[in-house]
Amino acid sequence: MNPLNPENIEDLKQLIDFLKENQVGEFELNRGDLKVWLKFTQPEVPGKGLSDLASLLSGAGVPAQAASAPAAPPVAPEAPEDPNAGLHIVKSPIVGTYYGSPSPGASPFVAPGDHVDKGQVICIVEAMKLMNEIESDAAGEIVKCFVSNGQPIEFGQPLFSVRLG
C-alpha cells in the first residue's frame, strides 16, 4: 500500500498550510505505515522549502501544486512593545477541549501569580474522550491564561504565559 496517494498528498498540503498559518514550528504524525515529521524554520530565500517539497512530490509521479511561502511581514519602524516579550508561552500539544481544573467545581490547577515547576500539571485537554494532563515545559510564574474552561483549542495554540525563574 502506498501511503502517499493523491488524497493523502492533498491532506498533507492542507496540513502544511494550516501549520504555516498558525506558525507551528514542528509537527509529527504517525498513522500506521505513514510517518510525517515537519519542521518549519525561517527560510533564507523566500519560497524555498515548501516549493521544494512540492517539486519532490511531483517528481514522485504524484500531482502537486507548487506551494509558496508567504511574504515576510514588513518591518515596522517603531514596533510597539510586546506585553509578552520575555515570557515563555506554553502551547497546546494536541487538539481538544481545554479544562483548567481536574473536575467541575474543583479549584484550578494553576492561576495567574502561581509558581509552577517544569513537569507540573497545569491543565487538561480532552481529546477523543481521553483526558490528557498537560504539563508545564518551563518553571516560573504564571502570568496569564489565554483560554477559558470548556474552550476548543488547536495544536500549538498558546495556553499560558510564564515568567521564567
pLDDT in tens, 78-132: 555 555 567 999 999 999 999 999 998 899 999 999 999 999 999 999 999 899 9
3-state secondary structure of 145: strand
Any idea which residue has 477559558 for its cell? 148
Output the pTM of the full model. Answer: 0.50
pLDDT in tens, 8-36: 677 777 777 777 777 777 777 777 676 77
d(CA 60, CA 26): 24
Higher pLDDT, 23 or 75: 23
**Is 81 exposed, middle or buried (CB count within 10 Å of its CB: 0-12, 13-18, 19+)?**
exposed
Handedness of CA 124, 34, 11, 128 (dihedral sign): negative
Q: Domain spanning 88-164 has what CATH number? A: 2.40.50.100
Domains in the chain: boundaries: 6-59, 88-164
